[in-house]
Amino acid sequence: MTELQMGLIGLGVALVVAVFGYNKWQEMRQRKVAEALLKPREDDILLGGEPAGADAPAGTASGSVPVTPAPRPAERREPVFGEVPAPDDTSVALEEPAAPAISGPEAGERPAGQVPGSLLDPRLEFIVALELVDFRPAADVIGRQQPALERLGKVVHWVGYNDATREWERIGTASELPVRRVRAGLQLVDRAGAVSDADLATFAGAMQELAGELPATADMPSTRLREQAAELDRFCAAVDLEIGINLVSKGTAFTGTKIRALAEAAGMVLGDAGAFVRSDDDGRVQFSLHNLETTPFTPDSIRSVATHGLTFVLDVPRVDHGERVFQQMAELARRFAETLQGTLVDDNRQPLSDVQIDHIRREFIGKPQATMAAYGVPAGSAQALRLFS
């Protein structure tokens, strides 16, 4: 090997050693810089210290400032079909989740409290509690999943918390109320029967989708909703009665003009459903007057109509103080009979005596309404009006 080759080899080795040494020096330098950046300063306020030269406020010891951790979002719970509430459970309040910590202009906000049973009742509805991150118009919240909810066979009731009045109120698709607390309740039973499993699943899925879109947390009940609905439907079937008193002519037909005059004198109004309606001071229907024949009463036909029969009807679960109202209805039917020269009869066209009318009042109105009161859904209450719709 020549001296030139030996020199080149030596130069290469020296170059490799130099590059290795330079890389190690750069690595040590970067490590020292990183340690300097990551090392907490003694005067860092967030980590316990105070700025250099800053004095502690009077009456306060200098030291660490507490940092409140951000609230964790409420855990979502999927609906589980299980337990049925006891029939004598009269609790109608919906438990509210604990309010998260709030910073900024809403820090003084009070808890929303419980939703009144007149608006939503966990025994009657599958209720999902939505807690939004930010305020949104109620119409925006409701409209997002409306296409999916319109396919349901049962109605969905929406309730929002009004932060101005500090009260829960019913909201709809046209409501511009800014809301951050929303409750959606799928009605479990109506006069068509109990909710289906498909409707329960569709509603739960829609609420989860809605929570993701808003964004919001969605808290769902853990009761066995299908069994709860079946039990509620059995209760409804046992008390869902309409009691009628028929008035038939003795020969001459009753004219529409006379019927209208007598009905209006008794405070009844011709409604859109083809019948005269008697309502209380709050606008709730007490009983109605129908044509016993097939032709409904309308503003256009009432002048020319003639019929051989009328029917007074009381919807038992929808009328408060049903026995008293039935007595008023029976008395009015007697006055009609005297004026129109007719006879009060039952559904078999057999004459109705005062004794029979009193029996109907006690057995078919008093007892069912007592059952409803014991169940915690009094006749004529807001809950009853939703169930028997």
Per-domain boundaries in the chain:
112-236, 240-387
Collect all residues with Cβ–Cβ distance below 8 Å to 68 and sequence separation of at least 6: 101, 103
The confidence score (pLDDT) of residue 3 equals 61
CA–CA distance, 290 with 2 (Å, rounded to integer): 128
Q: Is the pTM of this model over 0.85?
A: no
pLDDT in tens, 140-153: 999 999 999 999 99
DSSP 94: B
| The pLDDT of residue 223 | 73
CATH class in words for 112-236: alpha beta
- Under-50 pLDDT residues of the chain: 19, 26, 29-108
- The dihedral formed by the CA atoms of 42, 44, 49 and 53, expressed in degrees to the nearest 10: 90
Class of domain 240-387: alpha beta
Q: What is the pLDDT of residues 55-102, one digit of tens each?
A: 433 333 333 333 333 333 333 333 333 333 343 443 334 444 433 333
pLDDT for res 113: 83
According to the model, what pLDDT value does residue 371 have?
A: 98
Residue 352 to residue 343: CA distance in whole angstroms: 8
Is the omega angle on the peptide bond into residue 221 within 30 degrees of 0, that is, cis? no
Angle at 280 between CA 278 and CA 285, to 5 degrees: 50
Q: How confident is the model at residue 209, as a pLDDT?
A: 97
112-236 shares its CATH topology with 240-387: no
Would you state the pLDDT for residue 50?
41
